[in-house]
Amino acid sequence: MDAAHGRGVGGVGGGPEAEAAEVAEVAAGAEAAGAAGMAKSRGENGPRAPAAEGSLSGTRESLAPGPDAAAADELSSLGSDSEANGFAERRIDKFGFIVGSQGAEGALEEVPLEVLRQRESKWLDMLNNWDKWMAKKHKKIRLRCQKGIPPSLRGRAWQYLSGGKVKLQQNPGKFDELDMSPGDPKWLDVIERDLHRQFPFHEMFVSRGGHGQQDLFRVLKAYTLYRPEEGYCQAQAPIAAVLLMHMPAEQAFWCLVQICEKYLPGYYSEKLEAIQLDGEILFSLLQKVSPVAHKHLSRQKIDPLLYMTEWFMCAFARTLPWSSVLRVWDMFFCEGVKIIFRVGLVLLKHALGSPEKLKACQGQYETIEQLRSLSPKIMQEAFLVQEVVELPVTERQIEREHLIQLRRWQETRGELQCCSPPRLHGAKAIMEAEPGPWPTLQPSPSIRLPPDALLPGSKGKPKPPRQSQKEKEQWKQAKASGQLDKSPVPSQAKVAAAAGDTCPPQDVPLKDPAHQDPALQDSATQDSAHHRSQDSVHHHSQESLTSQESEDTYL
């Protein structure tokens, strides 16, 4: 496993036969090509994937490619704009996968539209007041993540949960700087080889050299420059691809940084020591969750790395049905790596946790095949999420087991060579551990309403702004001294309060407008008009500035 870093991890890469079959299926799907939501291009602008003859040490690619690999590699480029215009329109499901492909799903559990709109309204309120919700109502955020983040707000919510939004604000222009840098050639070659393998049936990545593959290349290259001591690991590619399906490249880059540094530190380092430790932790926790499955795996002497490496390093993005992947990621960003452990334990429990299921697993090969071809029932969205939520595996148990396995590692293998930062369990831990003051997250709503407009579901007229305690005391003092005898009529006072005006100064007596000097009256009129024009210009400039961040709500 040591040679796998940057070159391939377990089943993340594919052999020549698997690659040829994958490429052939892409070509077959591309024959039904047409207009797909994103613009797709192929040519000088994007990174060009090399031919299949190249080899990568430490992976299955080091095997000699079959005789049809080159032809299949050529076929895999089908799907670009110039080649797709002559084909019938391609059918895409709601997740962006080509209907009939491996990534597409059949019948899905649809959330009623009214429920979805209510959830969107609640999430908008949370995102617009994120710091307050994280500080005082984190449990409510966790419950809503378990129910599922609305699709229209998922990308924005992931950025807030992971701290990627704050990272972006703390490092303005950093991604552009990395993007413009040339990069290390040894990593660029490996990244280019992996681009066409990431979700080839998704409309963003179906075209060789299209915008999806270009953005994926930019994000992965930027990370190798941001953390040159780590470089690139193949398991990072599907993680980055999932993020790009929900947000622009710069936001996806900072979310990837948070996953690699906060959620799964050490997973993508050279020796893969962190994933090996977590494999032992998973196996130890399995003894408490499912003794039957634990006993069977122990008897067969199956190392956890044989079945959990791709699960954990790709956060199940290449294992589960897509609706289940999104629900798992919603909880993962909120609660941290314990969700990954729980999902793995649920799959092992229901795949090997009964004598009836073990009848078909008499040897190592049959057991591994059982875990690679899991039953659709146990991966179904509603069933899996319910099992994960109810599984009693806590952060404290994981950390206690981590110390036990780390001690055993040091006794048998010596000290760890990779000194990764401590793992943080979820959004709240990341927020509390962030050094220095967090910048206040400024929401960027896509829909703007007038200040006096009623929100959907609200009742009654908008209330005037509340007076501060100081204003109330000044008002009482002025009233006691009799200075309010010449105040405006009540209707005018209400209008002034609703407009947000402060109380008039008490040391200047008010005059009746009818008895004021005409020159003073004209001067006051001009001053008020000037202030109104300035306020209007300031309002429009602020609105145009904040509208530049409208991609936060990335549909």
pLDDT given at position 445: 54
Q: Between residues 61 and 14, which one has the greater pLDDT?
A: 14
CA distances from 553 to 123, 155, 169, 550 (A): 12, 7, 16, 6
Residue 450's contacts (CB-CB under 8 Å, 6 or more residues apart) are: none
Percentage of the chain surpassing pLDDT 70? 61
Is residue 5 within 8 A of residue 38, CB to CB? The reply is no
* Class of residue 35 by CB neighbours under 10 A (exposed 0-12, middle 13-18, buried 19+): middle
- Which range of 16-20, 108-112, 158-162, 445-449 scores highest in mean pLDDT? It is 158-162
- Judged against a pLDDT cut of 60, whether residue 41 lies above it is answered with no
How many residues does this entry show for the chain? 555
pLDDT of residue 87: 36
Give the highest mean pLDDT range of 69-83, 137-151, 343-357.
137-151
Stretch 162-179: mean pLDDT, rounded? 94
Q: pLDDT tens digit string along 414-438?
A: 888 877 788 999 999 999 887 555 5
- 396, pLDDT greater than 70: yes
- pTM comes to 0.67
The span from the CA of 315 to the CA of 240, in Å, is 11
In the predicted structure, residue 139 carries a pLDDT above the cut 60: yes
Higher model confidence: residue 462 or residue 292?
Answer: 292
Closest CA to 251 of 166, 346, 147: 166
pLDDT at 469: 67
- Find the mean pLDDT for residues 243-268: 95
User: What pLDDT score does 23 carry?
Assistant: 38
Residue identified by tokens 């998973």 is 282
Under DSSP, the state recorded for 260 is I
Report the C-alpha gap between 377 and 208 in whole angstroms: 34
Rounded to an integer, the average pLDDT of 378-405 is: 94
Over residues 205-236, the pLDDT tens digits come to 998 889 999 999 999 999 999 999 889 999 99
Average pLDDT over residues 84-91: 52
- pLDDT for res 103: 55
Which candidate, 417, 295, 271, 412, places its Cα nearest to that of 348? 295
- Per residue in 475-492, pLDDT (tens digit) is 677 766 665 444 444 444
Report, as an integer, the average pLDDT of 15-27. Answer: 42
pLDDT of residue 420: 77
Domains contained in the chain, CATH given: 116-263 (1.10.8.270), 273-419 (1.10.472.80)
Q: Which residue has the higher pLDDT, 307 or 66?
A: 307
Q: Nearest 5°: phi and psi at 484?
A: -95, 10
How far is 441 from 405, CA to CA, in rounded Å? Answer: 39
Q: What is the pLDDT of residue 228?
A: 92
The arithmetic mean of pLDDT across residues 61-72, rounded, is 36
Mean pLDDT of the chain: 74
Predicted pLDDT of residue 25: 44
Percent of the chain's residues with pLDDT above 90: 48
pLDDT value of position 294: 93
CB 551 within 8 A of CB 154: no
The span from the CA of 158 to the CA of 135, in Å, is 17
